[in-house]
Amino acid sequence: MLRPESGAIGLAVSGGPDSLALLLLATAAMPGEVEAATVDHGLRRESAAEAHGVAAICAALGVPHTILTVTVASGNIQSEARRARYGALADWIAARKLAALLTAHHADDQAETLLLRLNRASGVAGLAGARARSVVPQTAIPLLRPLLGWRKAELAAIVGQAGITAAQDPGNADDRFDRARLRKALAGAGWLDVPAIAESAAHLADANAALDWAARREWAECVSAGGPGVTYRPQAPRAIALRVLTRIVMQLDGEEPRGSAVARLFDALAAGRTASIGNLVARPGAGGWNLAKAPARRAPKA
């Protein structure tokens, strides 16, 4: 099992079979070095009871446990829930002075996410699978995913053999959710090799990291500030230039743009046309592409 070099570790345990298996495996591998937290998003009536169920399991195992209650902002519920969850877990890790956060992402998660995003025409960044080692978003806290080589059924078997009843994922049987429909389709497609698909997602994660490295180099060599906004003199292939443009837009406008909007911006600038994105205007010129805040509109005369 992946583990930090030293110090106790924190586990994100939702109460589902995947995270409970992680709890059992980590407790067996590192007795006395594990703490757990359950995030209650408050989005379902059952969530509080499930969090207290995890607390009871942890008490029986002698594992310190904390329930983290969060408020999910309006908007994209899944995205905002993820943001709130990782924010609460990061605060908990820091407060408890734990060495890392472990989550229970597994091979089936990798394969499902890759297939879902292929169906949405995602690029390399969207198709990249979760990495075994990364950091909690917006922090330097190590984020470890030690179960990426495990199948969901294997993890459920561990929990079942321990005589523990796991909470049910409410999205598993609800056909309103794309992932639920995909799981049903995969269950009847024995010709698909889930571990191989998950491995492809890992390869794409490596490719995504390489593109990020190249984009940082392109930024250092080809982006300059001065005068109005930022000037970019693109030298790299399109995939890298798109990442540089995304970073410029985020720096100037404060929000991450949609990938499709950045692609349209690139195509317009490459064709020599002025274009806009968010609150910015981008103009091609002999010295490169200049992106700056759009001039404020004058109020109409009374």
Kindly report, residue by residue over 260-301, the tens digit of the pLDDT.
899 999 999 999 999 999 999 999 998 899 999 988 666 556
- Residue 6's pLDDT band (boundaries 50, 70, 90)? low
Q: Which residue has the higher pLDDT, 227 or 186?
A: 186
Decide if 141 contacts 90 (C-beta within 8 A). Answer: yes
What share of the chain has pLDDT > 90, as a percent?
Answer: 71
Q: Give residue 174's pLDDT.
A: 62
Strands 133-135 and 275-277: unpaired
What share of the chain has pLDDT > 70, as a percent?
Answer: 93
**Topology of domain 9-192, per CATH?**
Rossmann fold (3.40.50)
Q: Is the pLDDT of residue 122 over 70?
A: yes
139, two tokens: 């922090």
Mean pLDDT (whole number) for 167-172: 65
CA distance 110 to 148: 8
- Residue 25's pLDDT band (boundaries 50, 70, 90)? very high
- Domains of the chain, residue spans: 9-192, 198-293
Exposure on the CB side of residue 192, measured as CA atoms within 13 A:
18
Residues 6 or more apart whose Cβ sits within 8 Å of residue 103: 11, 12, 19, 22, 143, 144, 145
Q: Give residue 300's pLDDT.
A: 58
Q: Give residue 284's pLDDT.
A: 96
26-35, 46-55, 76-85, 156-165: the lowest-pLDDT one:
76-85
CA distance 199 to 139: 27
Q: What is the mean pLDDT of the chain?
A: 90
Q: Is the pLDDT of residue 22 over 90?
A: yes
Residue-wise pLDDT tens digits, 204-258: 999 999 999 999 999 999 999 877 899 999 999 999 999 999 999 999 998 889 8
Q: Give residue 12's pLDDT.
A: 97
Decide if 284 contacts 272 (C-beta within 8 A). Answer: yes
